[in-house]
Structure 1
């Protein structure tokens, strides 16, 4: 099974996507647009409608009812457990809605996660991929889930125009979803749920742009058909391009998606097709730092890139899902999908030596492809034994990812500031297979309900089989292992009041083991999978119009290094993260909505075998994080809302000995939107000024890579419902 390849499916996928994003989409969109009208009345301003705060379960396939203001949902789809009210689960989860995405003018996943006090975003080394730091642990963009499956989401940068929910699960989650394809995500994972046709038709056009020169448009169409509205279609297509606020940087993106669904009495079927293509020219890279000092902080708009730098990536995704109610309280389901990614580009990554003040750069010509297939089958049901209720789940999943790559790399001397222009690298050859990953798992759980479900006890197990084969660009095999691990879950929720829940969990995370480097005695040896262990306790409060959460946690994960005495590579140390998080969301006062919170992380490297690093903080893990966003509907203004958001990130260290650190930084975003009617159409005008003070700051040091915070950017948009 390790040699299973989804390549034969690629042609069918690309044909389906071309149909979905070409004339077929235009025809379907026109048909939907022709019928998108509210019966017996003019079009309705959806943004101006009051938020639904009832806690009754949504209809099958319908998005969950959010808190007042519509920014945060009450429910989320949690892997094997399915759709759950968040007050009923023993985990910390935040689900951001499409309304929050639209009103905040978020374009990528990182823009959405800027709201979360447990998450920070940065970029990868040598490329422009978005990387996320959740509870101090890295989550790679390749490990973001899509509709509950790993390996299928667009890589590098994820645009969110077609996303209905951004679900952030905080903590270890090997039981809920299984292992991520590259093994990151120990501190938390992110799952994206795509937009589907709702009960109310949608026909929405947004024209947007930035003061620096980017211009774009987004069309969102949704309609239900049939006597009972059993058929649904949702189409999203967008394009944007131009010069960013960073000097010399240009970005261009094009996205299209089609989501189809059928809702019968006992059968539900879903099909999703997604295409994204992006190009970054003259992009500003991160700076890798070594030595005894940090580079001077440049202006926020500064760009230390070469003019020939570019990166272009294309992602095509197709997914199917079916659910069948075999009995009133029993459902079986199956889901599957395929993904093809293609990337090529030229990169130049500065390496700054703080001891000498000298800068070199890696010049890289890259070609990269990936093919993935993922699927799951499962069953969930509910029954009672006397006064005790049971919610049982069983599932099996499989994920296969094959990567192909080629590169030409060289190193050259340069300057970090005012760098001389040099010739670009040679184009890379045809890509060859560099890795195959096969993940298989089976899982089961039972949630026991006591005292009319005021006490919910969840126990579960997942058996995960990990098969990884790695290959050098010359074809030689560099890694091979096949290992299995069982990860348990124990969680409890106690609801002394209808609106109050106290919870605790003991869970585990799982990541692929490392490979001994060439300077170790056991060079090439592959370590078994690393198990991270978490204990967490917290409180959730649901006041109907607003909610609040508090979580305390500890996560420990083995760390691997080469022993300086024995020269043997192995799991010798531990990284321990202890923290507390608090969050507030919703509308605590009439016309005033809040979204934010704070977290504190006491992270330590333990038993490292090196007195210089033992007990020190890990690289790139801030101590304090603080977010607070507010929206105020101005009374008697006729539809004016003012917004403000502040983001604070505490001190981060750049090296394992904690000799170098980044100063704390703070960012201020200001905005306004105005709801009105133009030509009898509900219309919303929005303006957001990101980093209003234009203050420069090093945003992150994760992985020893410094990323410069984005400069002041003015985003404008006009949205009309027709």
Structure 2
């Protein structure tokens, strides 16, 4: 049993001077080196190889370059070391072993697929040292090409391999983020067909549909804790992996702050210092966005028990949308301490994003039944539309090994979030684009404290093993806001009118000192036992979670308005059967607990002013997984049901209807042919409405859900050009309805992205060039829709061309 690591984050607001100082420090620490990708044929096949006597560092550098091995090391390690001439039948790694045989140096591997030299006397981190005898297995474990991991964090279960759990779980690594130059979580999850992304209601918050159910950006967890990350958009520069759990997940993660996430969960893991690292990346876009990011890591102590990693990013300039500009500053500090029985980690982060003349969403009038998207680059937002998002967060985690079989773990995180936005989006009333525009200005602040405490253990009862998990979670989330709103002005979606800043017509609260609008307190206690039969060939997971949800709502003046206090218990059971070393079958039944609706006293229902009890969304799933080290594949059939509320008999508002999502998911990733890496997924959804009000929409498709999505991703290393890889992906999204009545239907769309990567040298310094083009054909399409108080559409982004140069030393 392995203990996990820990993290910290601050709560005080960082001023611009501190930001600049930290960023400058990172720049001064970072400099130049690069990764070259491994040519697997040359690694795995023995051939006649020879090297002359000479300087060991120069010999290793030449050998790595010729065999496309991403090797980096401190030149001081080999400065005075000479190697003897060697000749014989070797793989590239066997030859490196031979060259290092009479030295104190060892070759180590990193999770991102790179290799480094370390001095044995300084090296203590387990799981990284490799030799030629072990290298073939290490490479096979990277069938994902270093971009995908089949596993991730499963709440109270901790970090798990997908083949060991009865869930669909996949992770996208920092290598995928770097190689595709992915700047947001939505861009990362474009690689998975189960996820559809768009904007929040009138703002720039990333919003997701997973298996056809909404997951808001504030429902993304950070190393298992909710409420810690920035609320609207999360930068990827300090993220080690983006982990996607598909399906109902309240049991493993608890209730999200906003109650979304029935169809899946997203968890981000921070970067950790594994060895010395100095890296710098310069990037730009054709439109003028320019960025610089640094990544610096160190390990200290006699046993390398202390680790520090600093990431910094600044990027700004015009986007690919006309007249829109964005800037971003992000700084993170991760520290960890590793001891025989104790593991502690702390993380601090600061992020600020500014959006000017930002294109958000398009509201649609109730009479519309179709609407063509404008040109992909068209900006129908006014010049005064803007938003500034600033977040400071900190997290501390600790794991302690009580004995060989028992461990205790805990985490505490704090977040302070400040936003201000002048939002303006057109409300279209006619197919010719006739629209009106309002201004809504909103200051928003929030404070979150999130914590968890758990006990994990392994026991044996006869021939049956037990993996026990007992966990308590607590989240307190408070929001403060106010607003001013203007009257309407006329515009057109296809020929926008940019008027002056409109005057205020309505207002609520104090714009300079917004009052508390809500306070949420979620507590959960869960217990699970995973029983292993026949030497864990069969794994049965049983568990219960008791969740308490308390919500207090306030007027814009801070006066109590309504409250909600309820609890419920949700079960889970799952089964994994390992048919072979490569194939596992699984089944699960999970109930996702969600906060019930609060019926405002101003509503006309007979039960106005009351609260609906928490409700359960139920999931049944069966699937198969295949993993042989070179190729991974999975297939899953699932059904998720969610209660739907409306006014029934005697005008009582309650849960009477049901949304039933039935689906099929397919995934395949790995390296089926030498040099060819694939990441392909497909999802088909049959989402229907049942028992609707007066039967009006019975049998209709549930709105906002693409009926199918396919992502065909691939990358090929061209053997004719050393160090050159060419790749891309095709995304095909099927039709979807905007409304429950199924009168407004969006057309299917297709998007093509391409990327190229070239690893070379500038002088003696290895560098990596990356080119990425998103939406190569500049297609105009509606990427997603949302049904609500006012239905709205999110348009897909125009073509964007990104170029970067990165190096390590």
TM-score band, normalised by the shorter chain? Answer: over 0.9
2:150 aligned partner: 74
1:369-398 Cα deviation digits (max 9, x unpaired): 000000011111112112111111111110
Instruction: From the superposition, tell whether residues 45 and 168 of structure 1 become closer, same or farther in structure 2 (CA, over 3 Å).
Output: closer
Residue number among 74, 78, 83 corresponding to 1:37 in the alignment: 74
1:6 aligned partner: none
1:3 aligned partner: none
RMSD of Structure 2 on Structure 1 (CA): 2.6
1:616 aligned partner: 700
Q: In structure 2, what is the Cα distance between the partners aligned to 1:262 and 1:693?
A: 49
1:697 aligned partner: 781
SS at match of 2:419: strand
1:108-162 Cα deviation digits (max 9, x unpaired): 1111000011001100111111000100000001111011100111110111010
Note the 1:481-560 alignment, pairs <5 A: 481-516=564-599, 518-560=603-645
Worse-matched range after superposition: 266-275 or 281-290: 281-290
1:707 aligned partner: 794
Note the 1:159-308 alignment, pairs <5 A: 159-198=235-274, 200-289=275-364, 290-308=366-384
2:762 aligned partner: 678
Instruction: From the superposition, tell whether residues 13 and 711 of structure 1 become closer, same or farther in structure 2 (CA, over 3 Å).
Output: same
Q: In structure 2, what is the Cα distance between the partners aligned to 1:185 and 1:60?
A: 34
- Unaligned runs of 5+ residues in structure 1 are 1-8, 52-57
Instruction: From the superposition, tell whether residues 432 and 15 of structure 1 become closer, same or farther in structure 2 (CA, over 3 Å).
Output: closer
SS at match of 2:320: coil
Note the 1:351-366 alignment, pairs <5 A: 351-354=427-430, 358-366=434-442
Q: In structure 1, what is the Cα distance between the partners aligned to 2:486 and 2:297?
A: 50
Residue number among 99, 117, 124 corresponding to 2:193 in the alignment: 117
Q: In structure 2, what is the Cα distance between the partners aligned to 1:75 and 1:20?
A: 37
Q: In structure 2, what is the Cα distance between the partners aligned to 1:551 and 1:39?
A: 52
Instruction: From the superposition, tell whether residues 532 and 201 of structure 1 become closer, same or farther in structure 2 (CA, over 3 Å).
Output: same
Instruction: From the superposition, tell whether residues 280 and 41 of structure 1 become closer, same or farther in structure 2 (CA, over 3 Å).
Output: farther
Post-superposition shift, 1:27? 5.6
Q: In structure 1, what is the Cα distance between the partners aligned to 2:432 and 2:780?
A: 24
- Residue 13 in 1 paired to residue 20 in 2? no
Instruction: From the superposition, tell whether residues 33 and 719 of structure 1 become closer, same or farther in structure 2 (CA, over 3 Å).
Output: closer
Post-superposition shift, 1:39? 6.5
Q: In structure 1, what is the Cα distance between the partners aligned to 2:315 and 2:13?
A: 24
Residues 294 and 354, structure 1, Cα contact 8 Å, conserved in 2: no
- Residue 573 in 1 paired to residue 657 in 2? yes
Q: In structure 2, what is the Cα distance between the partners aligned to 1:624 and 1:687?
A: 29
Residues 682 and 710, structure 2, Cα contact 8 Å, conserved in 1: yes
SS at match of 2:613: coil
Worse-matched range after superposition: 69-78 or 712-721: 69-78
Q: In structure 2, what is the Cα distance between the partners aligned to 1:287 and 1:75?
A: 37
- Residue 452 in 1 paired to residue 535 in 2? yes
Q: In structure 1, what is the Cα distance between the partners aligned to 2:611 and 2:319?
A: 43
SS at match of 2:488: strand
Residues 249 and 264, structure 2, Cα contact 8 Å, conserved in 1: yes
2:669 aligned partner: 585
Residues 25 and 258, structure 1, Cα contact 8 Å, conserved in 2: no
Post-superposition shift, 1:201? 2.5
Q: In structure 1, what is the Cα distance between the partners aligned to 2:268 and 2:484?
A: 34
1:391-450 Cα deviation digits (max 9, x unpaired): 111111100000000110133032223232333256834211010000011111111011
1:656-689 Cα deviation digits (max 9, x unpaired): 1101100000000111110011132221001011
Worse-matched range after superposition: 420-429 or 148-157: 420-429
Q: In structure 1, what is the Cα distance between the partners aligned to 2:531 and 2:306?
A: 36
SS at match of 1:40: helix
Q: How many residues align?
A: 704
Worse-matched range after superposition: 349-358 or 453-462: 349-358
Residues 372 and 431, structure 2, Cα contact 8 Å, conserved in 1: no
Post-superposition shift, 1:234? 0.8
Instruction: From the superposition, tell whether residues 667 and 384 of structure 1 become closer, same or farther in structure 2 (CA, over 3 Å).
Output: same
Q: In structure 1, what is the Cα distance between the partners aligned to 2:399 and 2:607?
A: 49
Residues 45 and 683, structure 1, Cα contact 8 Å, conserved in 2: no
- Residue 431 in 1 paired to residue 506 in 2? no
Q: In structure 1, what is the Cα distance between the partners aligned to 2:25 and 2:557?
A: 48
Residues 293 and 354, structure 1, Cα contact 8 Å, conserved in 2: no
Instruction: From the superposition, tell whether residues 273 and 296 of structure 1 become closer, same or farther in structure 2 (CA, over 3 Å).
Output: same
Instruction: From the superposition, tell whether residues 97 and 356 of structure 1 become closer, same or farther in structure 2 (CA, over 3 Å).
Output: closer
SS at match of 1:116: coil
2:680 aligned partner: 596
Post-superposition shift, 1:521? 2.4
Residues 537 and 551, structure 1, Cα contact 8 Å, conserved in 2: yes
SS at match of 1:417: coil
Instruction: From the superposition, tell whether residues 634 and 483 of structure 1 become closer, same or farther in structure 2 (CA, over 3 Å).
Output: same
Q: In structure 2, what is the Cα distance between the partners aligned to 1:562 and 1:424?
A: 40
Q: In structure 2, what is the Cα distance between the partners aligned to 1:721 and 1:36?
A: 9
Q: In structure 1, what is the Cα distance between the partners aligned to 2:127 and 2:340?
A: 10
Residues 50 and 69, structure 1, Cα contact 8 Å, conserved in 2: no
Residues 26 and 294, structure 2, Cα contact 8 Å, conserved in 1: no
Post-superposition shift, 1:61? 12
Q: In structure 2, what is the Cα distance between the partners aligned to 1:223 and 1:20?
A: 22
Post-superposition shift, 1:38? 6.8
- Residue 134 in 1 paired to residue 210 in 2? yes
Q: In structure 2, what is the Cα distance between the partners aligned to 1:543 and 1:266?
A: 33
1:204-246 Cα deviation digits (max 9, x unpaired): 1100011011000110111211222111111100010100110
Q: In structure 2, what is the Cα distance between the partners aligned to 1:193 and 1:309?
A: 33
SS at match of 1:196: coil
SS at match of 1:474: coil
Tell me the TM-score normalized by structure 1: 0.93
- Unaligned runs of 5+ residues in structure 2 are 1-7, 33-71, 80-106, 117-124, 130-137, 505-510
- Residue 721 in 1 paired to residue 804 in 2? no
Residues 38 and 44, structure 1, Cα contact 8 Å, conserved in 2: no
Post-superposition shift, 1:639? 0.3
1:629 aligned partner: 713
Residues 33 and 221, structure 1, Cα contact 8 Å, conserved in 2: no
Post-superposition shift, 1:708? 1.0
1:420 aligned partner: 497
Worse-matched range after superposition: 444-453 or 677-686: 677-686
SS at match of 1:497: coil
SS at match of 1:13: coil
